[in-house]
Structure 1
Amino acid sequence: MKFFVVLFLSLLPLWAHAIEVGERVAPWTLLDQFDQAYTLDDQAQILLVARSMDAAKLVDAALQGQPKGYLQARHTVFVADIQRMPRLIAKLFAVPAMRAYNYRVMLDRDARIAPRYPGAVDKVLWLQLDNGTLVAQSEYSSAAELRQALEQVKP
């Protein structure tokens, strides 16, 4: 009996419904690198999702030289899926290093949020939102392309 329960629970994420263009994005709350809570609301216009360290490095490279508040001014929220990172490494090294960033990183420590938005692990997923509804999505594999896309967003 335990086997079937474990099997069911392990297959449950496969039945999770991925969001599609035209659908409303369900609100969620995550902590940032300073342990400050952020709840996704209708003010967010862009949601950037990085599922790996390589993807997060793309975001960091795209934001190099930008002033503090650059993402917030563009109503952009950055989510980093760090659930694959060993907790001790995250706690002692990675998250403290993120505190030096001049932008907020919403940390998905338990993969509760990032799996809702499927995409390539090595790319940054860009979700364009309008009053909480997904209107477009794209993926970026280079920091230069991501930076150019962010510069086109009016603050």
Structure 2
Amino acid sequence: MKFFAVLLLSLLPVWAQAVEVGDRLAPWTLLDQFDQAYTLNDQAQILLVVRSMDAAKQVDAALQGQPKGYLEARHAVFVADIQRMPRLVAKLFAVPAMQAYNYRVMLDRDARIAPRYPAPVDKVLWLQLDNGRLVAQHEYSSATELREALEQVKP
């Protein structure tokens, strides 16, 4: 019984951090693949969150052929949770590979931000924002679906 009480108490902070429609997202700051800081603000209208390499590949495939600034024109921010990736692999291979992308990737190296937005590991989480408030959320399991959704957003 003591074990379940401890388990419940340890999970309370996780539940408290999860956002729901209508909630205001707490601002945060992450570095992108070029070590440039970005702070979430009220101008962001779309937050794309991925928690695995497979989900990140879906975003990359959806953005293939799009011009530089495509996400920024749609007020979209892309966050990748890379905390499970070994630091040496990230530093020597993954992050340098990301520098070839024509879009910014905010790197959550320590899982400080992505866990606030729970979603299946293999899907792309789309959080629709309005002045910092969550108004809707969607999950995409294919690059085609994500690309179509992004095309619906007017720059």
2:113 is the alignment partner of 1:83: no
Q: Please, which runs of 5 or more residues in structure 1 have no aligned partner?
A: 1-6
TM superposition shift of 1:13:
4.7
Secondary structure of the residue that 2:84 maps to in structure 1? coil
1:72-91 per-position Cα deviation (integer Å, ceiling 9, x unaligned): 00000000000000000000
Residue 58 (structure 1) aligns with: 58
Partners in 1 of 2:118 and 2:131 — Cα distance? 21
Identity %: 87
TM-score (norm 1): 0.92
Secondary structure of the residue that 2:17 maps to in structure 1? coil
TM superposition shift of 1:133:
0.3
Q: Which runs of 4+ in 1 moved over 4 A?
A: 7-13
- Count of residues in Structure 1 that have an aligned counterpart in Structure 2: 150
Q: Please, which runs of 5 or more residues in structure 2 have no aligned partner?
A: 1-6
CA contact (8 A) 2:25 2:132 kept: yes
CA contact (8 A) 2:79 2:108 kept: yes
Structure-2 change in CA distance of 1:103 and 1:133 (3 Å): same
The CA RMSD over aligned residues, in Å, is 1.7
1:21-48 per-position Cα deviation (integer Å, ceiling 9, x unaligned): 0110110000000000000000000000
TM-score (norm 2): 0.92
Residue 26 (structure 2) aligns with: 26
CA contact (8 A) 2:14 2:116 kept: no
Residue 122 (structure 2) aligns with: 122
Partners in 1 of 2:13 and 2:83 — Cα distance? 15
Residue 105 (structure 2) aligns with: 105
Secondary structure of the residue that 2:91 maps to in structure 1? helix
Residue 150 (structure 2) aligns with: 150
1:38-81 per-position Cα deviation (integer Å, ceiling 9, x unaligned): 00000000000000000000000000000000000000000000
CA contact (8 A) 2:33 2:99 kept: yes
